[in-house]
Copies of this chain bind each other. A is one copy, B any other.
Amino acid sequence: MRILIVEDEKPLREQILSLMATEKYACDTAADGREGLFLGSEYDYDLAIIDLGLPLLDGTQLIRELRSKERNFPILILTARGNWQDKVSGLEAGADDYLTKPFHPEELRARIHALLRRASGHASSVLRYGPIAIDTSAKRVFRDDAEVELTSFEYNTLTYLAMHAGKNISKSELTEHLYAQDYDRDSNVIEVFVGRLRKKLDADGSLNLISTQRGLGYRFNLDKQ
């Protein structure tokens, strides 16, 4: 999951960033609205966290611009306490949720998790695909009720594919969502991780869990239940 953080106050920005890091989300940051607009227009994020009080381009305006460009990833806005009008104008501009500063890290984590879950069209936090179950809140994976230990990249790769079950996902789409901005594109990490996932979750290949469409990408082949 790739997240855009637009926050002008450095300490808060860093705090959010490190929180996101513990969750293993790939993050890009912007310190003002204009930079946020650039990044948000340029890349396909899974979620954006936007402070409403921003220099150069107001948060509300930023959201409006992003929405008018058909960027429709979920947006969580941060507002100063008690500033009802701001929240509402933010929501009106197209934000999906808000959080008042100061906030508990735990709460931010929960809201982001909820937004990501909803955005992917899954209501429950346990995704079932035949014998494979993914608990997205605990970040644990099971095959036939036995837990399969995955590393965080293996887990992220799997969930991204599973949340787009049936679709061909190109390697570049995977790298874009699993890694932050500056990532060396020509590498075969993705192949390696897909290989590991196949080995760990479908060693004998009987599930045909992840198939490769040469030139088009990978496809998670189990139906959601």
Please give the distance in Å from A194's CB to the nearest CB on chain B: 17
Q: Which residues of B contact A89 (CB under 8 A)?
A: none
Rounded to whole angstroms, the CA-CA distance of A107 and B47 in the bound complex is 27
Q: What copy number does this chain have within its complex?
A: 2
- Partner pick for A72 among B71, B121, B139, CB 8 A cutoff: B121
Q: Which of A83-130 contact B (CB under 8 A)?
A: 84, 87-88, 91, 96-98, 118-124
Q: Given A72-B118, A121-B122, A122-B120, A215–B167 Cβ distance below 8 Å?
A: no
Rounded to whole angstroms, the CA-CA distance of A140 and B213 in the bound complex is 10
Chain A interfacial residues counted at CB < 8 A: 35
Known: A119-B122, A140-B167. 6 other contacts (CB 8 A): A71-B123, A87-B88, A96-B96, A124-B167, A139-B217, A140-B168
A-B contact pairs, 19 of them (CB 8 A): A70-B123, A70-B124, A71-B123, A72-B118, A72-B121, A84-B84, A87-B88, A91-B97, A91-B98, A120-B122, A137-B167, A138-B167, A139-B167, A139-B216, A140-B168, A151-B214, A151-B215, A152-B216, A155-B216
